Structure 1
Amino acid sequence: MQDRPFYISQLINKQLRGELSREEETVLAEWLAAAPENQALLDELHTEGRIGEELQQLRKFDLEEGRRIIEGKLKAATPRVSIFRRYRIAAAAAVLLLLATGTYMLQQRSKQNAVPVIVQDIAPGTDKAILTLADGSKVTLDSSGNQVLQQGSATVRQHGGQLLYDAHDDNITVSYNTLTTPRGGQFRITLPDGTRVWMNAVSSLRFPTAFTGKERNVEVTGEAYFEVTQDAGKPFIVQINNQTKVEVLGTHFNVNAYTDEAALETTLLEGRVRVQGTILQPGQQARVTTDGAVKVVKDVNVDQVVAWKNGAFNFEDKTLPEVMRQLARWYDVQVVYEGKIPDIVFSGEMGRGLSLSQCLTILEKMNVHFRVEGKTLVVMP
């Protein structure tokens, strides 16, 4: 679902340009009537000078904040946090107008200068995937889909961005399907035993249409979050990249197995899992390197690990290449570096519902610059 503040800012942007539809006029009118300060804020935004003033103040804050983060001096509670909160309320719409694709101020300035301004933007990822059936046929899935498939006595229902498998016949003929998400895609699936799986972009899950044996076996690549239905007599086994095995009873855990990352990571939120013979406790993470060595990390920031599932990017303590790899998968772009890769460590969180330009505008506060050329994201020092 779209972030409400960004949606309202886009409506204000359209109103300033005289492009609101009737339905959008109704939504904006309801927002204005909800609180007197909303109307007051809109009145202020009709003044070009006011927009520029608020943007300048927030830019100044962000730059100083960025320097503190880079220098490692940012503390948990500083006066700047409260300052930002005051500015966030007063300047939110102005800033979001700048972040929205083709902002009002840029458009007005381009008209005055008679110089065309081309804003290249890329929408965020959406619910989409490909279901490959056992016979090799493929079914395209997206957020608008609503369909029912029949595989023998197994029923497959799609409701928007998720699949639900229903197989109650123990004598069912088992076949294996594969659910694959592309770059810029995500999807959810409920397996025949009730286990729920969230799949991030560029991931795959191979699974049976029914769990009839002594084990429940699935195979995964990329990144997926599991909420496994407990069945002590039938352990749940996840084979990762054909090299690592995770054995589960009933638990919540995340698997990050992207081949362009340094290690395969299994993070446990609830319950118990065994990774290559090593048992994890909640809050721990097993990192398996390419040589098969397992390292257990304690007290992992699990909120950061599953931020993607909850609709957010969490860039706390992430380097520039780590951040760029996440953006490349979600926005379906190729990242190219011009010159030396800046030595930057990021901090903070932002919604995955932002367009690429909105995301990059925020990241540029860390003194790194970008250029978008079609589906190529160029990182400049």
Structure 2
Amino acid sequence: MMELPNTGTNGRIADLITGYLFNELNDSELKELEKWINSAAENKMIFESVLDASSLEKQGRIYASINVNSALIKAKQHLKFVKHPEINTDRKVKQLWTRIAAVASLFLICTIGLYYLNKTGLADTSALLVKQNEIKAGSNNATLTLGNGKKIILSTAVNGKLAHDAGVVITKAADGMLVYEISAHNRQDNLQTNTLSTEKGEQYQVRLPDGTKVWLNAASSLKYPSSFSQTKERRVELNGEAYFEVAKDKAHPFVVSTAQQSIEVLGTHFNVNSYIDEEITKTTLLEGAVKINGSVLLKPGEEAVLAKSGSLAIHSVDTENAVAWKNGLFIFEDETLKTAMNKIARWYNVEIQYQDDNLKLLTVGGSISRFDKVSEVLNFFGKAGNIQFDIKGRTIIISSKK
């Protein structure tokens, strides 16, 4: 059984692997990661396994039965990670759950160990899903629609300048982020509305003209002007889910409009979940302060839950759960199977069918990587309840276990 390197080294490697997964490494960091990978065959195996656990199965290797939550807890204890005030402002200091997820992957490979079995002995009695129609996780992609109607598919767009709109230069950065910058010859006479939209199975990041960063989840859209410089407020329209890190500007409040609410901020970090097909809209505050519909003030660590009936409730929550999607995780905390499967459907671009509507009311809990193939996520659910899954094309059929 392989041993993990010392805590400091392991934490650094976890950061580098996480940065690689999220396209956040600079040239120096990429070289550092490449050096570690090439320094030992075991390191290369660990790296490849974190990226694609199925590579081990193809070589006739499988994991022992793994409790993902246990691995995450062990990783957290191993890191002894303490959040500092600057965690939300320093790019190189990862969010807690992102870092734990990367180290947990190393634990799954290193401390649990690999079991080498012959292909003839691969019958796994705990397997809950036949992987005949495997479906991969989503990826970074989106469509940018300019004010003149021109559409740009960002996954195929070359890095660099994409467009120039009334003195605003729109570029695709090396890390994949969409960036708006005001040029020296900015004009205000023809500013137009841009729309960044994701389909099912897509997510993307954008830095708006004022410096605000937005992470857009799957099946979502964000509308915004190409510049805020001549507006009294910085207003954007959201459909779906997004995480915001708002640039501070006391003179120009930042406003997020959804189908049911308006969120006003001066400079803060928060997540908004406002899908049309969900019964509620959630606004979760991580830092700063926001005002809901002009009256309700949220404090850090609180979540506003707005029902379609108009009733609004405020709860204290674990904010890491709300932004788990941004950090590469699914975290389910005693939520209905229907709500959980809605998240799966958006990220894996699949349809869901229930053989019995009562199954929608089952509650599920736990956490697992968003980068796993769909069969691994479904097996994770299946082990926790009396349910089974079948995949037909891009449809997941859910039924009671026979």
Separation (CA, whole Å) in 2 of partners of 1:196 and 1:208: 14
SS of equivalent to 1:346: strand
Spell out, residue by residue over 1:246-268, the C-alpha distance to the aligned partner (whole angstroms, 9 max, x if none): 11111001000012222111111
Corresponding position of 2:24: none
Is the CA contact 1:220–1:239 (under 8 Å) kept in the aligned structure 2? yes
Separation (CA, whole Å) in 2 of partners of 1:158 and 1:107: 48
Separation (CA, whole Å) in 1 of partners of 2:16 and 2:376: 13
Of 362, 369, 375, 1:357 maps to 375
Of 144, 150, 162, 2:177 maps to 162
1:93 aligns to 2:114 (yes or no): yes
Structure 1 residue 4, shift from structure 2 partner:
6.7
Of 180, 184, 206, 2:201 maps to 184
CA radius of gyration, larger in: 1
1:371 aligns to 2:390 (yes or no): yes
Corresponding position of 2:73: none
Of 213, 224, 242, 2:231 maps to 213
Separation (CA, whole Å) in 2 of partners of 1:34 and 1:236: 45
SS of equivalent to 1:131: strand
Q: Tell me, which stretches of 5 or more residues in structure 1 are unaligned? A: 6-23, 36-44, 63-84, 98-103, 111-116
Q: Taking structure 1 as reference, are residues 145 and 119 closer, same or farther at Cα in structure 2, changes over 3 Å only? A: farther
Separation (CA, whole Å) in 1 of partners of 2:131 and 2:371: 22
Corresponding position of 2:332: 315
Spell out, residue by residue over 1:345-364, the C-alpha distance to the aligned partner (whole angstroms, 9 max, x if none): 22221111111122222222
Corresponding position of 2:144: 131
Spell out, residue by residue over 1:332-355, the C-alpha distance to the aligned partner (whole angstroms, 9 max, x if none): 000001234165322221111111
Structure 1 residue 88, shift from structure 2 partner:
7.3
Structure 1 residue 322, shift from structure 2 partner:
1.5
Spell out, residue by residue over 1:267-292, the C-alpha distance to the aligned partner (whole angstroms, 9 max, x if none): 11111111012111111111111122
Q: Comparing 167-176 with 231-240, which one deviates more in the overlay?
A: 167-176
Of 235, 257, 278, 2:296 maps to 278
Q: Taking structure 1 as reference, are residues 295 and 34 closer, same or farther at Cα in structure 2, changes over 3 Å only? A: closer
Separation (CA, whole Å) in 2 of partners of 1:147 and 1:107: 51
Q: Taking structure 1 as reference, are residues 194 and 354 closer, same or farther at Cα in structure 2, changes over 3 Å only? A: same
Structure 1 residue 89, shift from structure 2 partner:
4.7
Of 333, 338, 345, 1:328 maps to 345
Of 251, 255, 259, 2:272 maps to 255
Separation (CA, whole Å) in 2 of partners of 1:179 and 1:140: 10
Corresponding position of 1:202: 219
**C-alpha RMSD of matched pairs (Å):** 3.7
Structure 1 residue 3, shift from structure 2 partner:
11
Structure 1 residue 161, shift from structure 2 partner:
3.1
One-letter code of the match for 1:184? G
Q: Taking structure 1 as reference, are residues 207 and 4 closer, same or farther at Cα in structure 2, changes over 3 Å only? A: closer
SS of equivalent to 1:213: coil
Spell out, residue by residue over 1:154-206, the C-alpha distance to the aligned partner (whole angstroms, 9 max, x if none): 10111253100001556433111000011000000000000000000000000
Separation (CA, whole Å) in 2 of partners of 1:235 and 1:296: 22
Q: Taking structure 1 as reference, are residues 356 and 209 closer, same or farther at Cα in structure 2, changes over 3 Å only? A: same
SS of equivalent to 1:246: strand
One-letter code of the match for 2:114? A
Q: If the length of structure 2 is used for normalisation, what is the TM-score?
A: 0.69
Spell out, residue by residue over 1:287-324, the C-alpha distance to the aligned partner (whole angstroms, 9 max, x if none): 11112222212x21100000001111001212211111
Separation (CA, whole Å) in 2 of partners of 1:213 and 1:257: 25
Separation (CA, whole Å) in 2 of partners of 1:2 and 1:203: 28
Spell out, residue by residue over 1:187-232, the C-alpha distance to the aligned partner (whole angstroms, 9 max, x if none): 0000000000000000000001100211111100100000001111
